[in-house]
Structure 1
Amino acid sequence: MKILICAMGFLLGNLVYSQEVYGEWKTIDDNTGIAKSIVEVYEQNGKVFGRIKKILKKDQRDVRCVNCKGDLKNQKVEGMVILKDLSKDEDEFEDGTVTDPENGKTYNAKIWLNEDDPDILMVRGYLSFLYRTQEWKRLED
């Protein structure tokens, strides 16, 4: 009986984890469909952040954000925090920012799990009513 209870707890724990935005996600190039990087999404002081943990193309791992402003100017892209200060609002995290290291621009942001597939993270950057949404795929163990 104890084994059954432990197994059920393990399965429920994994189900809850798989429903969370936290963890590692593969970013996918919109044009080619090729995975570009691994972003680690984490909680810090009640807010959600995401940093580029690894750039997948070895020859781009030393690239710097030359077009970024402020503290991000000339920072290595690998290791850069690109999602900042997102707050939970029901099933979404919003009121934060996302930085696109390719153009150096920072946008308002929100993220949420795809309702049909919780292993897809929807990441939206927007300026007023203009927006672009990317799908990031959960990194499998």
Structure 2
Amino acid sequence: MKKLLLLTVVAVLLSFTGKAQTVLGKWYSIDPDTGKNESIIEVYEKGEKVYGKIIEILKEEDKDKTCIECSGKDKDQPIEGLVIIRGLSKEGEEWTDGKILDPKNGKLYKCYISLEEDNKLKLRGYIGFSLIGRTEYWYRVEQ
């Protein structure tokens, strides 16, 4: 009887860990004007920080665009391949204390990301504190 109870507890625990989702992976960013998929961002871990890189621009006419408004090392770099999420640290259920680059205007904003649902990522970029900013939702690219 004890073995059966132990096996049941182990099976339940394994089922929870198998379903655990992560912010890591590939995500569709959405164009706020059209509501259509705009690009694919790969969110990855480097050390204990999280970063996000534009790995594919989906509109053919935008594939060769560069970040003309950016400054520093990002100035005039191709947007496809640009690291836009930088240095987020895990804090509870969120990744926070990092920056996000908006390649359309070249500005860096503070940001945090968290899973809203298994395949829905909430991203908040802001100035100063998070009440002044914009929230976007990205959707996981199905493999």
Fold in common (TM above 0.5): yes
Which residue identity does 2:19 align to in structure 1?
L
| Matching residue within 35, 40, 43 for 2:45 | 43
Alpha-carbon distance, 1:68 to partner: 0.4
Partner of 1:130 in structure 2? 132
Greater than 3 Å deviation, 4+ residue runs: 10-14
| Alignment RMSD (CA, Å) | 1.7
Give the TM-score taking structure 2 as reference length: 0.85
Alpha-carbon distance, 1:11 to partner: 6.6
| Matching residue within 8, 25, 28 for 1:26 | 28
Which residue identity does 1:62 align to in structure 2?
D
Give unpaired runs (5+ residues) of structure 2.
Answer: 1-11
Partner of 2:91 in structure 1? 89
Aligned length: 130
Q: Deviations over 1:61-111 (max 9, x none)?
A: 110000001111001000000000000000000000000001111100100
Alpha-carbon distance, 1:13 to partner: 6.3
Structure number with larger C-alpha Rg:
2
| Matching residue within 58, 61, 70 for 1:59 | 61
CA distance in structure 1 between the partners assigned to 2:63 and 2:17 by the alignment: 35
What's the % identity of the aligned pairs? 42
Partner of 1:15 in structure 2? 19
Alpha-carbon distance, 1:46 to partner: 0.7
Residue range with higher mean Cα deviation, 27-36 or 46-55: 27-36
Alpha-carbon distance, 1:20 to partner: 0.2
Give the TM-score taking structure 1 as reference length: 0.87
What SS does the aligned partner of 1:82 have? strand
Alpha-carbon distance, 1:15 to partner: 1.5
Alpha-carbon distance, 1:55 to partner: 0.2
Alpha-carbon distance, 1:42 to partner: 0.2
Give unpaired runs (5+ residues) of structure 1.
Answer: 1-7
Partner of 1:108 in structure 2? 110
